[in-house]
Chains A and B, each alone.
Chain A
Amino acid sequence: DTAVSQTPKYLVTQMGNDKSIKCEQNLGHDTMYWYKQDSKKFLKIMFSYNNKELIINETVPNRFSPKSPDKAHLNLHINSLELGDSAVYFCASSRTENIQYFGAGTRLSVL
């Protein structure tokens, strides 16, 4: 069973479209995260949720809106996609001692 699963794995879309990425974890963790990995492989936190509540919201355009329907899910919705949004997006979760488990990533390409 995959611990942290993201869908879709690949997402190709046109500028201006709205898209969502889903994340689910079956580890029973309370905290979930979204990270963005740019073309130079640099990883940076976007959002952090604990028990469905937003804890951290880094400097991210408000076109990005996370939603956590329950502790096991943290979805990422992106409005009005731009070329610069092209990246790999990783979901992660953790419980104690901040040992984070990552999903396989979603490669978003905006054309």
Chain B
Amino acid sequence: AQTVTQSQPEMSVQEAETVTLSCTYDTSESDYYLFWYKQPPSRQMILVIRQEAYKQQNATENRFSVNFQKAAKSFSLKISDSQLGDAAMYFCAYRTSNYGGSQGNLIFGKGTKLSVKP
């Protein structure tokens, strides 16, 4: 069975600085999808970034980028130029590419609470 581990329960960053959130996963599959979701105090889970395992190039979305190390099964999120609005819980998630699995069958980590200091 696949598992997702986020080893940092809490992280803190100074506004305008860069922070990296860690995520490791375990799977025997070669093709899959990885996601980072943000959950602010409003509680709504928002997709930050996604990565297809077959793509070697790391995904980027504006100030958010990932460091995808397939062999190491590592998928870290880098937030550059941190803003106060980035303060939230961040969840790493895994999904199989197996067409027998549903869209919503994400395996989530326990999350990292990110604080941004002004």
The yes or no verdict on A and B being binding partners is: no
Q: Which B residues are within 8 Å of any A CB, using their own CB?
A: none
Q: Which A residues are within 8 Å of any B CB, using their own CB?
A: none
